[in-house]
C-alpha cells in the first residue's frame, strides 16, 4: 500500500515534481506551498502548513537541486524550510513525516564524493556532502544527527537520501524507507529548527 506524499521543491525543479506525479504513479498529495501565509507568527504559520498542506501525508519528498541550499538565505528558502520544519514536527493532531531527500542529477557531483579510508577507525566510508552548500539545515541536521562517531549508519539518520535515478527506478522502496523512520528510535532525536 502506498504512503501519501507531499513534495517540497523549488520552482526550478518543478519538472521533476511533474514526473513524480504523472509518470511514477505515486500516491500523492498535490499541495505545494506556493503563496505566503499572511502572518508574522511562526507558530501560526507552522500550524497552517501542517493543517492545510501536510495533515494527510506521511512522507515528504524533498527535491535537492541547485537552489535548495542554506547559503541562499532565509528569504530564498523560507517555503522549503517551513515545509521541512512542519514535516518534522510531532505534536497533537500531527505526526512527524518521514523525509526523503531526492538528489537531482545536477547535484550528484556536489553531494556524492566517493569513498575514503577513515583515519579514526580505518574503515571505508562514503563521502556525502550534505551541508549548507547543498541543502538546508533542516535536512542536513536530521541526516547527520550528532552522534560522536566517525560515521553514520542508516540507523543514525532520520532523513533518507537517494539519487534521482535510483528513486525513479523504485520510488516505493525509498518512500517506504522514509516512512519506516517515523517509528524508528532515531525519530526521537530529530530537530524541527536546527
Render pLDDT for 48-85 as a digit per residue (tens, 0 to 9).
Answer: 888 877 878 899 999 999 999 999 998 889 889 989 99
**Nearest residue to 59 (alpha-carbon basis) of 170, 181, 143, 141:** 181
Give residue 188's pLDDT band: very low, low, confident or very high (50, 70, 90): very high
pLDDT of residue 91: 75
pLDDT tens string 121-167: 999 999 999 999 999 999 999 999 999 999 999 999 999 999 999 99
Average pLDDT estimate for 93-115: 93
- Between strands 124-128 and 59-64, the pairing is unpaired
3-state secondary structure of 74: helix
The predicted-structure confidence for 2-43, as pLDDT tens digits, reads as follows 788 889 999 899 999 989 988 887 776 655 565 667 777 877
The pLDDT, as a whole number, for residue 131 is 97
Answer whether residue 86 shows pLDDT above 60: yes
pLDDT at position 154: 93
- 93 pLDDT more than 70: no
pLDDT of 88 = 94
Provide the 3-class DSSP secondary structure of residue 21.
helix
Q: Which residues pair with 101 in a beta bridge?
A: 62, 161
Amino acid at each position: 500500500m502506498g504512503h501519501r506524499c507531499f513534495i517540497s521543491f523549488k520552482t526550478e525543479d518543478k519538472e521533476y515534481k511533474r514526473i513524480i506525479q504523472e509518470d511514477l504513479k505515486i500516491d500523492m498529495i498535490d499541495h505545494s506551498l506556493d503563496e505566503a501565509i499572511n502572518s508574522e507568527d511562526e507558530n501560526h504559520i507552522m500550524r497552517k502548513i501542517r493543517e492545510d498542506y501536510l495533515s494527510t501525508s506521511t512522507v515528504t519528498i524533498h527535491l535537492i537541486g541547485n537552489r535548495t541550499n542554506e547559503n541562499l538565505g532565509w528569504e530564498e528558502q523560507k517555503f522549503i524550510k517551513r515545509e521541512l520544519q512542519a514535516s518534522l514536527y510531532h505534536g497533537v493532531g500531527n505526526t512527524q513525516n518521514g523525509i526523503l531527500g531526492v538528489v537531482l542529477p545536477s547535484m550528484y557531483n556536489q553531494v556524492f564524493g566517493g569513498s575514503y579510508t577513515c583515519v579514526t577507525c580505518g574503515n571505508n566510508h562514503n563521502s556525502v556532502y550534505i551541508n549548507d552548500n547543498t541543502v538546508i539545515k533542516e535536512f542536513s541536521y536530521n541526516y547527520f544527527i550528532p552522534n560522536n562517531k566517525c560515521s553514520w549508519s542508516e540507523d543514525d539518520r532520520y532523513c533518507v537520501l537517494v539519487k534521482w535515478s535510483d528513486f525513479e527506478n523504485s520510488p516505493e522502496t525509498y518512500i517506504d524507507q522514509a516512512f519506516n523512520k517515523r517509528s524508528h528510535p532515531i525519530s526521537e532525536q530529530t530537530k524541527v529548527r536546527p
